[in-house]
């Protein structure tokens, strides 16, 4: 039985702040990515090829904080991270801080297949992509007005932001597509009710029983000092072995400290927990009490899928062979 799950970020996604037309845009983008991956798996594609294709679809969509929709750094450019991993071989590749690569997930796969390394950072990762002919884009390609507006607001406030949110009255929802909807991204709690952590990812089990995971992100608005989150760190935000495949989304520092993705595999191996039990323990019993808001998507060797999160919502979709598609945002 093949299976697929994907996410487009997690956080406080309130119905009152997402206009119906914009909600439909998000749902359509999630469904399109899901259909892309499901069709590949149905045709016998490898799990690794599937998750790469799904993440590329989400990277090409400006709604999500990855690839074309990546947020701006303090200096006004983009620094993108991505990783993928094949469960049956434990091969992995990742890039951090790339600036020109149209699809960072493709660069991560280059690292895995064309080098002896696991993680390359800017500028070397961009140079590798250039050498192998991956599509590169000028800064204008990654520019979106609402991301730029988010940066300007973050600069005025002198804070980082964890992805699109901005405090505003619940009775006057504003389009996240046409206006900023970004919440201050400090480590401490804030009063803003409308924040989302922007990362995209996919996990899959193919017809051969192989598992794979892929994750991509644009990081934090107004981030400085070449900050890197959990996404490209194997075991923190991305993991796959013969038991499970995991892709995380949330405040990366907490997922790094918890080695969240690998912890799920460990709980399954050493404690004998099911995928659902292990994911629940990590997301709700370990991350949440420490302040680690977010979620993850996971699939196991039997094709079971789970999509837990401890935030108000998570852009997500999943489908197993012969089953109905799930596309959801809220709890």
Quote the tokens at residue 131: 């050498």
Residue 227, marked binder? yes
- Considering the candidates 174, 199, 215, 238, report the single residue annotated as catalytic: 199
Residue 252, marked binder? yes
Residue 250, marked binder? yes
Residue 251, marked binder? yes
The span from the CA of 119 to the CA of 202, in Å, is 19
Question: Do the beta carbons of residue 79 and residue 98 sit within 8 Å?
Answer: yes
Quote the tokens at residue 125: 């990762």
Question: Do the beta carbons of residue 84 and residue 112 sit within 8 Å?
Answer: yes
Residue 115, marked binder? no
The number of helix segments (H) and strand segments (E) in the chain equals 9, 13
CA 166 to chain centre: 21
Residue 133, marked binder? no
**Residue-by-residue DSSP string for 289-314:** HHT--EEEEEEETT--EE--BSSSEE
Round the CA-based radius of gyration of the chain to a whole number and report it: 18
The span from the CA of 57 to the CA of 280, in Å, is 28
Q: DSSP character for 161?
A: B
250 phi-psi bin (left φ>0, alpha ψ -120 to 50, beta other) = left
The span from the CA of 237 to the CA of 139, in Å, is 27
Length of the chain: 331
Active site residue 199: yes
Catalytic residues: 199
Binding site feature residues = 227-230, 249-252
Which residue numbers belong to the known binding site for substrate? 227-230, 249-252
């Amino acid at each position: 039985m093949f299976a697929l799950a994907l996410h487009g970020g997690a956080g406080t996604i309130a119905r009152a702040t997402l206009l119906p037309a914009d909600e439909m845009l998000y749902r359509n983008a999630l469904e399109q990515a899901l259909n892309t991956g499901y069709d590949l798996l149905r045709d016998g594609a490898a799990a690794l090829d599937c998750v790469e294709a799904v993440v590329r679809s989400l990277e090409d969509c400006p709604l999500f904080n990855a690839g074309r929709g990546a947020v701006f750094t303090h200096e006004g450019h983009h620094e993108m991270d991505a990783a993928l991993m094949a469960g049956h071989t434990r091969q992995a590749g990742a890039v951090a801080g790339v600036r020109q690569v149209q699809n960072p997930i493709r660069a991560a796969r280059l690292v895995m297949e064309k080098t002896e390394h696991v993680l390359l950072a800017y500028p070397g990762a961009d140079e590798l992509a250039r050498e192998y002919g991956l599509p590169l884009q000028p800064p204008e390609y990654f520019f979106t007005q609402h991301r730029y507006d988010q940066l300007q607001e973050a600069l005025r406030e002198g804070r980082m932001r964890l992805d699109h949110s901005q405090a505003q009255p619940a009775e006057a929802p504003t389009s996240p597509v046409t206006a900023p909807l970004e919440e201050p991204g400090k480590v401490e709690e804030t009063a803003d009710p409308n924040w989302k952590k922007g990362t995209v990812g996919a996990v899959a089990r193919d017809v051969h029983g192989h598992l794979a995971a892929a994750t991509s992100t644009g990081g934090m608005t107004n981030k400085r000092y070449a900050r890197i989150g959990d996404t490209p760190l194997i075991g923190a935000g991305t993991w796959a072995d013969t038991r499970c495949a995991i892709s995380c989304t949330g405040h990366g520092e907490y997922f790094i400290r918890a080695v969240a993705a690998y912890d799920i595999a460990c709980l399954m191996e050493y404690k004998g927990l099911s995928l659902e039990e292990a994911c629940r323990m990590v997301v709700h019993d370990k991350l949440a009490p420490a302040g680690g808001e977010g979620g993850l998507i996971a699939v196991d060797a039997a094709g079971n899928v789970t999509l837990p999160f401890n935030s108000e919502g998570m852009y997500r979709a999943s489908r197993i062979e012969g089953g109905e598609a799930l596309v959801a945002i809220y709890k």
